[in-house]
Structure 1
Amino acid sequence: MNKQPEITEQTKRNIIDAFWKILKKKRLDKITVKEIADVAGYNRSTFYAYFTSVSDILEQEENILLHYIHDNASKILFPHLIKGLRPKASDLYFFTKSEHLKILLSENGDPKFKGKLKKTIVPIAFNAFNLPKDNIHAEYLCEFCFSAVISTIIHWYDNQEIEIDELFDILWTMVTKGVLFEYKKLI
């Protein structure tokens, strides 16, 4: 597998692309290795050279995405929020990774992904705002904010009736005029 790294990487990419293509149209629990291999143009043994199961490809892809989201939220989103600056919507993870997030958060996607996303983002919020870890009010504020923002983004993914910048204006106002006031009272 390592003799031709470019071909190896392209084969893996083709399998991953086939997975996303199928997941876009079909529920996760109905996807088979054979189906992914067929769509990618390979046999099942080629699939197994890269992944152990459908769950494995999902987990690897989610981990890559969650790592990106962690970096993006840590380096762009929350530093801007702390300073009261508005980042560009096009720089934020929910836009830059919208294709995969939209699929994972859809009815066909991973029902556990929203929880994984929350476990990635909420600790960053606690650290960014220096919120006490054992404060029940802080937990409820973070829960409210995460749920409101993610539900709004999912609604946008499903409908896309407005442009990304308009959506971000709504989210920005909701977060900075509503939730941030409560965060600052806890500090």
Structure 2
Amino acid sequence: MKLTGTPAQLKLFAAFSDLLGQMPITRISITHLVNAAGVNRSTFYLYYVDLPAFIKDLEDRLLTHIEEGADERLQSAIKATIVSPDPQSVYPVFLDLTQSIADNFELFKELTAEDGDHRFADKLQLTLTEILFSNLEEDLENKTFFEDIPADYAMPIFFSSILTIILHWLHKKKPESAQEVAKLITKSRYVAPYKLFRKGE
């Protein structure tokens, strides 16, 4: 599902994505935005008081798209990783995540770029972890995973590695499909770090 909004808002979102590919976010002005979107300046002010408000709304919409239905999916992912030796049971969970990002790939790419919003990647990781912890069952929250690593440490490790893969994917010259990246994330949940660099038998 793509971003939702009025026709004018969707034009502004698309124009902002294009502008991010042309200049740093700090150089983009309302004039740049409305000219690129082909809408009147007054139309912009029908929705937003200023550019920071526009950017916040856009980022919130992107994160909401990730959040929709994610409570259950992310809990399923962590539980399946713990109890299931079969990666195929986890793959659909991560496919939902990568497909949600692929739906708005260019916006995620540009916002997490060097000239984008440096806080957005942090917001993305925070969103993922908050979704999980806000609904985590008490017995799972208090559980110790990975040879005495407490849950409150294990969860950030779990999500930071996923985010690292996603950010690498977003900024590749020839990015893989959402399906391929979901497979990579799934495999990474079941491979110890020291095994990543082992030569094949």
Give the TM-score range, shorter chain. Answer: 0.7 to 0.9
- Structure 1 Cα separation of the partners of residues 191 and 132 of structure 2: 16
TM-score, scaled relative to structure 2: 0.71
Hey, what does 1:102 align to over in structure 2?
Answer: 109
Hey, what does 1:74 align to over in structure 2?
Answer: 71
Hey, which of these two has a bigger chunk of helix by percent?
A: 1
Is 1:175–2:189 an aligned residue pair?
yes
Higher relative contact order (CA 8 A, sep 6+): 2
- Structure 2 Cα separation of the partners of residues 99 and 77 of structure 1: 24
Q: Per-residue CA shift, 1:32-76, capped at 9, x if unaligned?
A: 001001111233222222211221111111111212212242243
Hey, what does 2:54 align to over in structure 1?
Answer: 57
* Structure 1: gaps (5+ residues): 1-7, 180-187
For residue 37 of structure 2, the aligned residue among 35, 40, 58 is 40
- Structure 2 Cα separation of the partners of residues 146 and 41 of structure 1: 39
Deviation at 1:125, TM superposition (A): 3.0
Say whether the 8 Å CA contact 2:125–2:163 is kept in structure 1: no
Hey, what does 1:165 align to over in structure 2?
Answer: 179
Hey, what does 1:122 align to over in structure 2?
Answer: 129
* Structure 2: gaps (5+ residues): 144-148, 194-201
Please give the root-mean-square deviation of Cα atoms over the aligned residues, in Å: 2.9
Hey, what does 1:184 align to over in structure 2?
Answer: none
Is 1:132–2:157 an aligned residue pair?
no
Query: Residues 49 and 161 of structure 1: is their aligned pair in 2 closer, same or farther, counting only changes over 3 Å?
Result: closer
Counterpart of 1:116 in structure 2: which amino acid? K
- Structure 1 Cα separation of the partners of residues 46 and 151 of structure 2: 46
Q: Percent identity?
A: 26
Structure-to-structure mapping, 1:14-25, within 5 angstroms: 14-25=11-22
Deviation at 1:147, TM superposition (A): 1.9
Deviation at 1:10, TM superposition (A): 1.9
